[in-house]
Amino acid sequence: MTDLTMFRVQKRQVHATITLANGQNVRGCFFLSESSADHAGPERVDELLNASERFVPFQLDTETGPPRVTLYNRTQIVLVHLPESEVALAHDPSYNIARPEPASLLLSNGDRLSGEIHVVGLTGHARLSDFTNLRAFIYFEKPNQTVIVSLDHVVELVPLSGAPERSNG
């Protein structure tokens, strides 16, 4: 019999709290690769959430008994709260030079968030609307915490910079 452990991909656990569309908050951890397919360094939570898989494995923190893994449908994830140590790892180098856009978000669960979206990875016309149409999950910087927001659960995004969005037409 072949030892299959040699084919195992080593994963790291990243603790988080997920807010689901039904209003439930669940604590536990994601399993991420030690290296990203898209950049140098470890895989980030937003990469996992923006992947094409419909369900995301998440190990629940349990008060009693062994931890258990649950699969959550990505479309039902509204917010992900990460520890500060993970947020520091989360941003690619271009994040530090990206243009911060003050914004207010109204979420499908009725919560309103105020903070900044860093417009990363766009050349030429780098409007907030261009950036928010690129992916399903983005980092959003609240005054005291950075969260990952599902744009599918954003009902309203109000730019607070004072300048209206320019049209490409």
Query: Structural domain boundaries of the chain?
Result: 4-159
CA nearest to 117, candidates 158, 78, 164: 158
Record the pTM: 0.82
* Euclidean distance between CA atoms 86 and 89, whole angstroms: 5
So what's the pLDDT on residue 93? 65
Q: Tokens 């990875």 label which residue?
A: 121
pLDDT at 32: 87
Render pLDDT for 31-57 as a digit per residue (tens, 0 to 9).
987 766 666 677 788 888 998 899 999
Cα–Cα distance measured from residue 131 to residue 112, given in angstroms and rounded to the nearest whole number = 20
Say how far apart CA 64 and CA 90 lie, in whole Å.
31
Does pLDDT of 163 surpass 60?
Answer: no
